[in-house]
Structure 1
Amino acid sequence: MKRIAQWLAGAAVLLSAVTAKAEPVTLEIWTIDRTDQYIYLLKDEFEKAHPDIKLNLKTIQFRDMVNDLARAAATGEGPDVTYIDNPEVALFASRGLLLDLTPMIAESKIVKKEDIFPGPLASVTWDGKIYGLPRGANTIALYYNADMFKAGGLDPDKPPRTWDELYEAAKKLNDPAKNVYGLAFSAVATEEGTFQFLPWLQMTGGDYNKVDTEGGVKVLEFWGKLIDEKLASSDSLVRGQYESTGTFNAGNAAMAISGPWEMPRMAKEAKFEYRAAMLPIPQEGAPRASALGEGDNVILANSKHPKEAFILLEWLHSKMPEVWNRFGFLPAAKVQVDKPQWPEIYAVFEESMKYARNRGPHPEWPKISKAIYTAIQSSLTHQSDPKTALGVAQKQIDGVLGR
């Protein structure tokens, strides 16, 4: 009887160990994705490939991610893995809030540091260490309604190349009677406004650390002219890029400035021939610029499951050849994109990436960005003139940069 009891006790311990081993790890994931985007669409595939890891997803609004993450990190209640917009990596890494992935990447058979393009790699690097893996990359270009171009007597094979040509096209295609604006863009008081503004500034010789330039004034004067003449909606000041491009998809804007992430939705919503062109330059011969966008997958330093979290990051990185066709991201690494959908538009964004520039990086990027988008808002709402607005922003930026 004693032996039977011992055997039963041993079996119970063994069964308990097997049960404990079979219990899957649950990773808490924060994302800016909607339920029809990226991580939500990949969740089931990942869990099928890794049945011992489950993903619990939570959507955070893009504009709230930085503040929500900061609060969560302070209380120890943050996620294991989260999305961070690429200029914010320096902010969190410099404060010790992100896990250094450098040793994991060095041992990885999936992630090769040398295959990640320089811009995206720089966006996840701080103080010589790597703190994230890019989901993909993006930039901005000019979408236009080819049907409206034809109806308006414009050649869809010759989209606007300069700011003057963009203005003339917007003016010609503007049709208040049909609730159609010539152009849709975003000058919202968030990072998205800064993201759209910086390429225009950079094409005139300025940058995030030098905004009070003659070129910067010309950009705000041009944007103000579009809004004041109602060639672009005054809602440009409050709409993000997603909402702004939605007006283009609905046929309420003849052109729109946005990125490749719009393609899956545009393919479903737009009932017309849409094309894309490089972002117009100030004048012929001027340098090109575009914004380096898309975010990064990072692991918080206090994650209780760093091993499983990195398995997720590796797996997501392995999907890089698919991100264009599925999500409208450009690959952030050297991969082969087989039979890209919308090949002409893919070619435009691929070319645009040659001119895409990082925002920062700087550990106080949110303060720099706020100074910029506040100046944009101040100018476009006529609270101050462009020169004054940019001068105020420059003083704030100089203070952040310690100059």
Structure 2
Amino acid sequence: MTIESQGSNRTFTRRGIFKAAAAVGGTAALAACAPVAGPEAGGDAAMADEPIELEISILAGAPVEPVNELIKASFSEKHPDVTVTFNMVSGDLAEKYYTAAAAGTLSDVFFSADLFVVPFANNNVTLDLTPYTEGDPDVDIDDVFPNMLGLGVFDGKIQMLPSALDVVTLYYNKSLFEEAGAEVPNDEWTWDDFIVNCQKITALETEADGTPRYWGLSNATWSWWATVYPWVVGYGGKILDIENNQSTWSDPNTVEALSAYASLWNEHNIAQPLGLDVGGNAFFLGRAATYCHIQSLRGPVREAAADKFEWDVQVMPLMPDGRHRTGMGTWGMSAYSGGKNLDMSYEYIKQLIRPTVQLEAARAELGVPLLRSVASDPSWMEGLPTPPENLMAFINGADDAILPVIEHPGDCGSFYAGMVSDSYRQALEAVIRGEANAADAFAETDATIQPCLDQNA
């Protein structure tokens, strides 16, 4: 399949570079790039006889570097005459990428993540991969778990191919549950079951001040959209009425959902208090019975637990809608829209979702396969270190996983950064700490966000 270069006639101004594009935290330089020009004569096809070099910007170390080694090997089998070099990046990636894009020197392909998808697409930094995937006999895009693929999609266009099935899953300390005489989590648990059994854990032992020594839930991800927003969806709520351009954090169902979430702290007292320092991650230290995160934490948890406690993983408890609502978060690879070798850039990236690469990565514990065809084949689990034993929990939560709301205007921020992120976190913290009720706190969130929506209507 051949798709000609989209050209590299792009306009970057100093004002554009430093104009806020609002969805990435910690970035000092965000570019406002001109729209990509249409196909030009003399694109990739004209360069067919010239040596082709691809520069790939990635993070050093696992999982990104070894996964890209697998991609490179797969790519080189088909394109042995293309030279692939890795450029190791670190620090404020958004600033570095935008600066390089402004200078026209951004790598052909680069490491990305779900939080970058919207701002990079809005600023025309990333190449739309959709027309490349359509009709490509080597790629079955429908085999990718749709919710996972959705993390790399903006405005119906694929801006990033994700690396693995990174669904937020419940890590649990089996030893602590058993010591407390509680049931260990199972796939039929509701959040009520979670509360009842975690109350047995907080009753195990108390500190000198009367507070529990052990907690049912670590506070490490208390404000992450991927652990908070699933409650809103599970209760039938919403945070944005797109059709009417209204912020709806104070929607009754949303308020009920966030009140229920906050009750893990302020009513049932089973979650580790915000700000309580136990010398590190409470779950890793055996002080919290559960921890919500993605599959890539298997190695760190295994190392931390060692022989101190037994642990495993389970799908998230059922919400009132009867689903195991949960969020996601992943890294992936994108192509620079101003690159000189767009066809080859796509050819490199697509290896990430080739069944052979997904299987090799899974067997090396570099990810959980995001292709249904590979995930349904038990061979991907053969020989993997344990715990966890229940590896299918990472797969079984996929169909109930949800995507973040990404329709807020750039000036208003998003779940990841800016006004939306700051205002919902402030409200949620106030509710958890008992400083405000959910209705009042999230009405204030709406009052903060709505003027921005109005200004950008």
TM-score normalized with structure 1 length: 0.76
* 2:129–2:158 Cα contact (<8 Å) kept: yes
The separation in 2 between residues aligned to 1:147 and 1:160, in whole angstroms, is 20
Displacement, 1:277? 2.5
- The gaps in structure 1 that reach 5 residues or longer are 1-20
Deviations 1:184-230 (A, max 9, x none): 144566xxx12210111211111342432344334444454444576
Q: Which residue of 2 aligns with 1:9?
A: none
Task: Work out whether 1:387 is the aligned partner of 2:443.
Answer: no
Q: Which residue of 1 aligns with 2:226?
A: 195
Percent sequence identity is 19
Displacement, 1:27? 1.5
The separation in 2 between residues aligned to 1:161 and 1:46, in whole angstroms, is 39
* 2:218–2:283 Cα contact (<8 Å) kept: yes
Task: Work out whether 1:255 is the aligned partner of 2:290.
Answer: yes
Q: Which residue of 2 aligns with 1:56?
A: 87
* 1:208–1:368 Cα contact (<8 Å) kept: no
Displacement, 1:183? 1.3
Cα gap change, 1:159 to 1:124, in 2 (>3 Å) = closer
Aligned residues: 369
Cα gap change, 1:327 to 1:300, in 2 (>3 Å) = farther
Task: Work out whether 1:273 is the aligned partner of 2:310.
Answer: yes
Letter of the 2:358 counterpart: M
Aligned equivalent of 1:205, options 236, 251, 258: 236
Q: Which residue of 1 aligns with 2:413?
A: 367
Alignment of 1:172-251 (within 5 A): 172-174=200-202, 175-177=205-207, 179-187=213-221, 193-209=224-240, 210-227=248-265, 231-235=270-274, 246-251=281-286
* 2:239–2:251 Cα contact (<8 Å) kept: no
Task: Work out whether 1:331 is the aligned partner of 2:356.
Answer: no
The separation in 1 between residues aligned to 2:70 and 2:318, in whole angstroms, is 42
Cα gap change, 1:202 to 1:325, in 2 (>3 Å) = farther
The separation in 1 between residues aligned to 2:297 and 2:234, in whole angstroms, is 24
Task: Work out whether 1:297 is the aligned partner of 2:333.
Answer: yes
Letter of the 1:265 counterpart: P
Displacement, 1:157? 6.3
* 2:315–2:393 Cα contact (<8 Å) kept: yes
Deviations 1:129-174 (A, max 9, x none): 3322121222223221111111111132658823333233333213
Displacement, 1:128? 4.2
SS class of match (2:291): strand
The Cα RMSD (Å) is 3.7
Displacement, 1:96? 1.8
Displacement, 1:45? 4.6
Q: Which residue of 1 aligns with 2:352?
A: 316
The separation in 1 between residues aligned to 2:174 and 2:291, in whole angstroms, is 12
Cα gap change, 1:236 to 1:256, in 2 (>3 Å) = farther
Moved more, 197-206 or 114-123: 114-123
Displacement, 1:380? 3.3
Letter of the 2:401 counterpart: A
* 2:153–2:159 Cα contact (<8 Å) kept: yes
The separation in 1 between residues aligned to 2:403 and 2:152, in whole angstroms, is 11
Compare the two structures and name the one with the higher helix fraction: 1
Displacement, 1:179? 4.7
Cα gap change, 1:131 to 1:235, in 2 (>3 Å) = same
The separation in 2 between residues aligned to 1:237 and 1:186, in whole angstroms, is 10
TM-score normalized with structure 2 length: 0.68
Aligned equivalent of 1:350, options 384, 387, 395: 395
The separation in 2 between residues aligned to 1:94 and 1:132, in whole angstroms, is 13
SS class of match (2:110): strand
- The gaps in structure 2 that reach 5 residues or longer are 1-49, 241-247, 416-420
Cα gap change, 1:83 to 1:384, in 2 (>3 Å) = farther
Deviations 1:93-119 (A, max 9, x none): 233221122343346453233323322
* 1:30–1:82 Cα contact (<8 Å) kept: yes
List structure 1 segments (4+ residues) > 6 angstroms apart after TM superposition: 236-239
Cα gap change, 1:307 to 1:258, in 2 (>3 Å) = same
* 1:187–1:376 Cα contact (<8 Å) kept: no
The separation in 2 between residues aligned to 1:46 and 1:138, in whole angstroms, is 19
The separation in 2 between residues aligned to 1:48 and 1:86, in whole angstroms, is 25
Cα gap change, 1:393 to 1:113, in 2 (>3 Å) = same
